[in-house]
Amino acid sequence: MTTVLDVQRFKDEGRRFAVLTAYDYLSAKILDEAGLPVLLVGDSLGMVMLGYPTTLPVTLDDMLHHAKAVARGSRQALLVGDMPFMSYHASTEQAIISAGRFLQEAGMHAVKLEGGGPVIEITRRLTELGIPVMGHLGLTPQSVHAMGGFKVQGKTDAQAARILADARALEQAGAFSLVLEGVPSKLAVDVTKALRIPTIGIGAGPGTDGQVLVLHDMLGLTTGKAPKFVKRYANLAEEITRAAKSYAEDVRNGTFPGPEHEYSANGSAPAKDREEVRYGPG
C-alpha dihedral over 54, 57, 61, 65, to 10 degrees? -30
Q: How many CA atoms lie within 13 A of 203 on its CB side?
A: 20
135 is a contact residue toward ligand KIV (CB under 6 A): no
Interface pick for ligand KIV out of 44, 74, 98, 208 (rule CB under 6 A): 44
Residue from 171, 181, 238, 262 carrying the catalytic annotation: 181
Contact letters for ligand KIV, residues 157-196 (x by CB under 6 A): ----------------------x-x---------------
Q: Does 27 bind ligand KIV (CB under 6 A)?
A: no
Beta strands at 133-138 and 210-213: parallel, antiparallel or unpaired: unpaired
Asked whether position 43 contacts ligand KIV by CB under 6 A, the answer is yes
Distance of CA 133 to the CA centre of its chain: 14
Sequence letter at residue 260: E
**21 is a contact residue toward ligand KIV (CB under 6 A):** yes
Residue 214 is a binding residue for ligand KIV (CB under 6 A): yes
**In angstroms, rounded to a whole number, what is the distance separating the alpha carbons of residues 198 and 17?**
10
- Is 181 labeled as catalytic in the residue annotation? yes
Helix (H) / strand (E) containing 67: helix 60-73
Q: Does 82 bind ligand KIV (CB under 6 A)?
A: yes
Which H helix or E strand runs over 81?
strand 78-82
The residue count for binding ligand KIV (CB under 6 A) is 11
Nearest residue to the partner ligand KIV, using Cβ: 42
Judged by the rule CB under 6 A, the positions of this chain that interact with ligand KIV are 21, 40, 42-44, 82, 179, 181, 202, 212, 214
